[in-house]
Amino acid sequence: MKFLPLTPNGETPVRALTIAGTDSGGGAGIQADSRTMAMLGVHACVAVAAVTVQNTVGVTGFHEIPPEIVAAQVRSVVSDIGVGAAKTGMLASTAIIEAVTAVCTEVGIGRDQPVPLVVDPVCASMHGDPLLHAEALDAIRHTLFPIASLVTPNLDEVRLITGIDVVDDASAHRAAEALHGLGAQWALVKGGHLRTSTHSTDLLFDGDTFLEFTSDRIDTGNDHGGGDTLAASIASALAHGYSMPDAVAFGKEWVTRCLAASYDLGAGHGPVSPLWRLHESENA
């Protein structure tokens, strides 16, 4: 695949910001975002919104960071370092979502702002463990989505947010329209969880045009952190000035390669791995 351009040694690289929760198992969350950005040559800045207690088997608890501290992290980074794009992951509560929305608007992050914002609306872990208080779904829909340049829910999150169960192309199109209708500039309905298909097709919609991004389905149970990795790679491409369709195409290819390189870890689902790029470099 064609990689993002690398900054020469000693020069300041492109920067991107992730606003999300941690993963103590290292497979998803801020850890996956930072690892992906680093492998793409992007300097990762972070605003920690929650600390989870999890491993490959599941999430047993999480601690929310005070909303004003989450917002202060964003403000501190942007005012000094500056970023070319930002993404959100686990935000946990209505108060944190409201604080993140307000500070992003304040510092110029979001749709119709200088810095694009990718919203990965994390609601639950891949094991079904809740990562968002139930009452915060309305804040996702009506507070965060309206400032999103792109939203990237998985199919479980699509069902929670829109009430639409995606089972085929027609329902995927309806879901994309519903997500866009909540205010996002672009909506991406990811097909990775549609296990009945031999291919994984992601559907991108901007209110007028549908674009499809299709790859062969990777036969692996080690897909922990796949959604984070996709959103982080899209944000990295946007930070480089890519158009939204080109950034999504890049992210789709990147996460597919990461799925193919995934590995066993612990007793549950192992992580997708961006480490394949190291081997690619060795063989170059």
pLDDT in tens, 65-74: 999 999 999 9
Do 157 and 192 touch, CB atoms closer than 8 A?
Answer: no
Q: Is the model's pLDDT at 75 over the cut of 70?
A: yes
Span 146-163, pLDDT tens digits: 999 999 999 999 999 999
Q: In the structure, what pLDDT confidence band is assigned to residue 128 with cuts at 50, 70 and 90?
A: confident
Supply the pLDDT for residue 281.
65
Q: Side chain identity at 233, as an amino acid letter?
A: S
Label residue 129 exposed, middle or buried (CB < 10 Å: 0-12, 13-18, 19+): middle
Q: Is the dihedral of CA 266, 272, 274, 277 positive or negative?
A: positive
Residue 235: how many other CB atoms lie within 10 Å: 35
Q: Is the pTM of this model over 0.95?
A: yes
Average pLDDT over residues 52-81: 97
> pLDDT class for 193, splitting at 50, 70, 90?
low
Smallest Cα–Cα separation from 61: which of 131, 162, 136, 147? 131
At residue 217, does pLDDT exceed 80? yes
Judged against a pLDDT cut of 70, whether residue 7 lies above it is answered with: yes
- The 3-state DSSP class for residue 271 equals strand
Predicted confidence band of residue 196 (pLDDT cuts 50, 70, 90): low
Q: Look at phi and psi of residue 108 and say left if phi exceeds 0, alpha if psi is from -120 to 50, else beta.
A: left
Q: Determine contact, residues 135/128, Cβ cutoff 8 Å.
A: no
Q: Is the pLDDT of residue 125 over 90?
A: no
- From CA 190, how far away is CA 227, in angstroms rounded? 9
Above 70 in pLDDT, residue 284? no
Where does the chain have alpha helices with state H? 29-39, 67-80, 94-107, 137-139, 155-162, 169-181, 226-239, 244-260, 276-282
